[in-house]
Amino acid sequence: MSDKESLNFGIVTDCYGCKISLEDAVRRLHGIGFRDLEIPCWHFTAGREPSYLKSDLSSRLKDLRTLLSDLGMTVRQFHSTASLRAESESARAEAADWIRRTAEIAAETGARALVLHIGGRKEVCADRTDREIFEANVKTLSELADFVGNSGIRLAIENLMSDVYRQGCRISELKDLIAAVGSARIGICLDTGHANVDALNIPEAIRECGDLLCATHIQETCPGNDLHVFPFSLRRSKSTMDWFAIFRTFRETGYPFPLIGECANNAGELPLPLVDRYLEAQRLLLESVLRGEF
């Protein structure tokens, strides 16, 4: 992958909200210059019953692949709606089953990374020990790594926030899970906003991920609020995020993939042509920073 490709800024398809279809969002994003995408599974299934995910989707997926190919667009990441579960064996197994189906769909879109949240939410795991949560996550990730096999999909476990999750909020915790599974099919999705909420040094977190970093959620937050706004949206005194240092670290470490903005601060709230202008302006600004112009 060339340096120019590695500095591209992509985006989640639900940045318009889920009132317009995934396919319509892809067309609009193409029109304003985006080429690299993350598809959230909840956008793929928007307006449909949960059973839709397990129905025959071959025709839609074929049409989606054709659309993406015709427009020269790439699905870099696919975000699972289902998270890993750790509160019971039955919940763990059921979640793993949904994620397996999601992985099949992600592979059909051409995605290279499936973004996942591990299990261990505080409100449902209060009676579980840390070891039980860890072992449940290792078991599920081992099963999923075997399932994706040589499909080209890499499982990207995302850093979470400690006000909600018992584990997975530090890069070291994600690396411990990956080491316990022992599969090259598992990597890390670094969410810069989550990292900021949990007071991580983000440039250090990027370096700590190393070659395990295979997906990104680029977004700005302030302590205590997972805002999902674009970089440079907040004053430094509010967000504490040094975006020049963050982007410089991605360049210095040679991160080989487009950075994906998980930014939905206009989701469904503004006229679509206005959102088009806003998104295009943000892309141009961020790509100029990524090129080192500022």
CB–CB of 25/15 below 8 Å? yes
User: What stretches in the chain show pLDDT beneath 50?
Assistant: 1-6
**CATH code of 189's domain:** 3.20.20.150
Could you read off the pLDDT of 133-161 as tens digits, one per residue?
999 999 999 999 999 998 999 999 999 99
**276: exposed, middle or buried (C-beta count within 10 Å: 0-12, 13-18, 19+)?**
middle
The total number of structural domains in the chain stands at: 1
The pLDDT value recorded for residue 265 is: 63
Domain that holds residue 215: 3-290
| Token duo for residue 238 | 């509010």
3-state secondary structure 124-162: CCCCCCHHHHHHHHHHHHHHHHHHHCCCCCEEEEECCCC
Contact between residue 215 and residue 10 where contact means Cβ atoms under 8 Å apart: no
What pLDDT is stored for residue 172 in this prediction?
Answer: 99
Contacts of 123 (CB under 8 A, 6+ apart): none
- Per-residue pLDDT at 258: 96
As a whole number of angstroms, the distance between CA 220 and CA 238 comes to 10
CA dist 40 and 80 (Å) reads: 7
